[in-house]
């Protein structure tokens, strides 16, 4: 989808459809909506008076203009209550409108910057949100379906701004929105692929191809190299699969000699649970157990395109977790790259095992701060449902940065405690640490496990297991992989470029 910003009058836009808006409770449309109403001889005001248009959030009303303005159609979008309208709602509304246009087979449309006028929201933020929302909302994953000659795609959207002085700023904002949304859609593509297609080798190949396209450094470590590096924890998970493991490393250099931000992503391309096998219910979703790895790779794509003055390194340990005669067993002891021994009490707690060695390597590479992203625990869904992902960190300063980045992205997060008492959950009688503790506080125990491998670096762990998948289209979310938290990670890198972590 092509997104542009144009200077002019929305009533004069020559396009198949124009979009204006209305807040709930407004009886006399003003601004661009009022201008369209006057051009249509009061048609919108009449429908408001009749109760056919109420301005409720998500309400969409399509009118035909019968030649009174150049566009043959006008869509009035309900914004809901003005006191509750936010940039997040702009983003979701834009996604809903884009899907509506596709359903009506409208190939192109023009819209005003929702919220930037009467709602008083920042015009630049609104332009970015409109672009993001449209690109995210139109996403679909159909590459394995028979080609449908009747499939319809929305080709373009323009944001019309009547103030010439703002056009260049809004253009940059919209371009930024397209870039981060396309990155999130790339992460969705990776996570939506079936496990027999996105093997660890294919995962690495796609990361390498993307790196080549956008000018990132890339190195792929094979099993022999991973073994030579002493990554026994990672290899313990990989040993049950016929598919060879891969360690993916991407690098972006824009910040001179500063220490790189480390983005570490769990890359389990299919998770059966291993010997501690999962139940059949929900197992099909385990093709997305590499969503954390996909998110950090996709974030690197956007970072490469936006070119912030910061250094970033991404690491993704990629493997399957399979049951077999060679698979790791409960009670086995593995040795991580930093020499710590790990008692495996549950082979389905494999994500923390592969991340442990990746975190050790991040320390060896002198990355700081370090943020790992993983669909790590089912317990996080019990705590936070599918609304927010969990954040764990001993660093208040880093959590504040992540919170600001996620708020700007509209990807909700919530910090959970790391009280010292929780560390006891991972005590082992036969090794330095065990990989799975008691039933209670499972997400916190997992975070404490990971903390064992980051020394004293500023570090945060994002558990995205509750938000990585959507079962319906709603706002920017579409059925399947959510692409969360790609946009948060990009915002974090942009923020650190402007103001490094103290």
Q: What percent of the chain has pLDDT over 90?
A: 95
Looking at every residue in the chain, the average pLDDT score rounds to 96
Q: Domain 181-498: what homologous superfamily?
A: Zn peptidases (3.40.630.10)
Residue 427 has pLDDT above 70, yes or no: yes
* Token pair recorded at residue 290: 């590499």
- Burial track 64-86 (b if 16+ CB lie within 10 A, e otherwise): ebeeebebbbbbbbbbbeeeebe
Report the CATH fold assignment for 2-163: 3.40.220
Active-site annotation holder among 278, 340, 423, 457? 278
Are residues 90 and 129 in contact, defined by beta-carbon separation less than 8 angstroms? yes
Check if 457 is active-site.
Answer: no
In the chain, where are the structural domains located?
A: 2-163, 181-498
Straight-line distance from the first to the last Cα atom of the chain, in angstroms, rounded to the nearest whole number: 40
pLDDT of 489: 98
Q: How far apart are CA 73 and CA 422, in angstroms?
A: 60
Instruction: Pick left, alpha or beta for residue 459 (phi over 0 → left; psi -120 to 50 → alpha; otherwise beta).
Output: beta
Check if 278 is active-site.
Answer: yes
Active-site annotation holder among 188, 266, 287, 352? 352
The HSE-up count of residue 175 (CA atoms within 13 Å, CB side) is: 9
Residue 64 has pLDDT above 90, yes or no: yes
Residue 118 has pLDDT above 70, yes or no: no
**Which strands sit side by side in the sheet containing 73-80, from one edge to the other?**
2-7, 156-161, 108-111, 18-23, 73-80, 60-64
Residues 273-297 have pLDDT tens digits of: 999 999 998 899 999 999 999 999 9
Q: What percent of the chain has pLDDT over 70?
A: 99
Check whether the bond before 485 is cis (ω within 30° of 0): yes
Residues 142-189 have pLDDT tens digits of: 999 887 666 899 999 999 998 899 999 999 999 999 999 999 999 999
């Amino acid at each position: 989808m092509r997104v542009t910003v144009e200077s002019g009058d929305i009533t004069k836009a020559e396009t198949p459809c124009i979009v204006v808006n209305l807040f709930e409770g407004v009886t006399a449309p003003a601004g661009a909506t009022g201008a369209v109403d006057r051009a249509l001889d009061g048609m919108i005001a009449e429908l408001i008076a009749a109760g056919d248009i109420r301005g409720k959030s998500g309400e969409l009303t399509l009118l035909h203009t019968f030649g009174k303005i150049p566009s043959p159609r006008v869509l009035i979008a309900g914004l809901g209550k003005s006191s509750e309208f936010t940039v997040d709602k702009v983003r979701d509304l834009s996604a809903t409108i884009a899907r509506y246009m596709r359903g009506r087979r409208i190939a192109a449309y023009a819209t005003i910057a929702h919220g930037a006028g009467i709602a008083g929201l920042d015009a630049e933020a609104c332009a970015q949100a409109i672009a993001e929302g449209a690109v995210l909302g139109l996403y679909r994953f159909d590459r394995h379906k028979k080609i449908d000659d009747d499939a319809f795609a929305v080709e373009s959207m323009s944001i019309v701004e009547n103030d010439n002085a703002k056009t260049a700023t809004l253009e940059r904002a919209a371009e930024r929105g397209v870039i981060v949304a396309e990155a999130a859609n790339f992460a969705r593509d990776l996570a939506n692929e079936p496990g027999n297609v996105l093997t660890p080798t294919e995962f690495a190949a796609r990361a390498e191809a993307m790196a080549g396209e956008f000018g990132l450094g890339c190195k792929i470590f094979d099993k022999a190299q991973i073994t030579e590096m002493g990554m026994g924890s990672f290899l313990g998970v990989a040993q049950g699969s016929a598919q060879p493991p891969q360690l993916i490393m991407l690098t972006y250099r824009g910040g001179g000699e500063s220490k790189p931000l480390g983005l570490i992503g769990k890359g389990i391309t299919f998770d059966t649970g291993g010997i501690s096998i999962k139940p059949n219910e929900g197992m099909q979703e385990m093709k997305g157990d590499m969503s954390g790895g996909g998110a950090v790779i996709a974030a690197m794509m956007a970072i490469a395109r936006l070119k912030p003055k910061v250094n970033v390194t991404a690491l993704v340990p990629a493997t399957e977790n399979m049951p077999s005669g060679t698979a790791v067993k409960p009670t086995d002891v593995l040795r991580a790259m930093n020499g710590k021994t790990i008692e495996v009490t549950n082979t389905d707690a494999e994500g923390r095992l592969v991340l442990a060695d990746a975190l050790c390597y991040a320390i060896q590479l002198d990355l700081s701060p370090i943020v790992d992203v993983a669909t790590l625990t089912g317990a996080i869904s019990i705590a936070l449902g599918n609304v927010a992902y969990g954040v764990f960190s001993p660093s208040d300063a880093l959590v504040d940065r992540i919170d600001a980045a996620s708020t700007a992205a509209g990807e909700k997060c919530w910090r959970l405690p790391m009280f010292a008492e929780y560390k006891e959950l991972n005590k082992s009688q036969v090794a330095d640490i065990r990989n799975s503790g008691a039933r209670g506080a499972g997400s916190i125990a997992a975070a404490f496990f990971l903390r064992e491998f980051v020394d004293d670096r500023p570090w945060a762990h994002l558990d995205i297991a509750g938000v990585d998948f959507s079962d319906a289209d709603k706002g920017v979310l579409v059925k399947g992989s959510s692409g969360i938290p790609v946009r948060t990670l990009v915002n974090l890198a942009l923020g650190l470029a402007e103001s490094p972590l103290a």
